[in-house]
Structure 1
Amino acid sequence: MASLRPRLAPRNVVPVLTILVLIGSALSLALALTRPDPRPPADLPGADAGVGTYQAADLEGPGGPAVAAAVELLPVALSYDFRDLPGGLDDATDVMTPTFAEAFTASFNSSARPLARRQRAIAQAQVRGAGLVRVIDSQTVLALAYVDQVLVQSRALARSDPPQVLTRNRVLVRLARVDGEWLVANISPI
């Protein structure tokens, strides 16, 4: 029985391979010519600064004083000491708008106060970084802050133990200018 498969004669193989090589070369050339430029466009902000260059924000521009206030006020608002919880709460609410101070007091009294008393805890908030998210209007700014809450002393720590980071938080902080002073109007964890 004869095979029904077509066989390529040796003389037909060379032209077929030549055509395939030419097609492959043409595709490679087309891809090389249409490949996008890996360099960033010249009009991209920071493109001329070099790879990995960090440029600090302008704290003198719009919202800059509010961001500086957030860096100063957040440690006051988010730190506590079991030895003087009422005084610490007064200090915290002094840097807040009245509406937020009321909500903060309710939250503090229901969660942080009992825990601080039970654990005999002293916690300090440390702002690790902050930046402007948006200027809402001339009296209101939204900032992002990275805040560590560090346990300095508690029943869980031996006297010789170093302070321990309790939490590393990212928070959105709304600041409002009241009588020329920036106050914390809201703190929202992200």
Structure 2
Amino acid sequence: MWKEGVKVGIRAAVEQDLPRIVEIYNAAIPTRRSTADTETVTINSRLEWFRKHNPDRRPLLVYEQGDEVVAWISFEDFYGRPAYQHTAELSIYVAPEHQGRLMGKKMLQAAEELAPRLGIQILVGYVFAHNSPSIRLLQAFGYQEWGRLPNVAQMDGKEYNLCILGKRLEHQASTEQSAPANR
């Protein structure tokens, strides 16, 4: 896609994107709003995490504007056991200078559109209760609070609640409704 002569779009991340992915992630750490990491991470420390993402099953996508990655979203296994293979955890990070420009919305919409091809029926997100922008984003897409872990995180001498937000995707619900009663 092109916008005003500038290349814009979502694509699968490549290893050359990892420095920018890490830079965006590290920018979120001091806010104490989006991650439980309290110290910056290195490119090397995130290499194994990056390589675990499989474009056909659990992709890592980037939003590119011009030649710059400005946001990313990752699909990760939920709880790592076979019975949960139809469920994925999402993480969305947007570069600070691009926040408030609907990047999160675009990334979440792309994730939901891609999920059926990945065999994903349920998406979950773990969000600190004080991260109002992320909670509002997920709720605007129909995610509901499925659980809350009170004071589970401690950062800088303060305790934080973690919300678990989830959504059963409509393609699964419509498949179940149209399926024959005899199974």
Rg comparison, structure with higher value: 1
The structure carrying a bigger helix percent of its residues is 1
Given the two structures, how large is their TM-score scaled by the length of structure 1? 0.26
Q: TM-score, normalised by structure 2?
A: 0.27
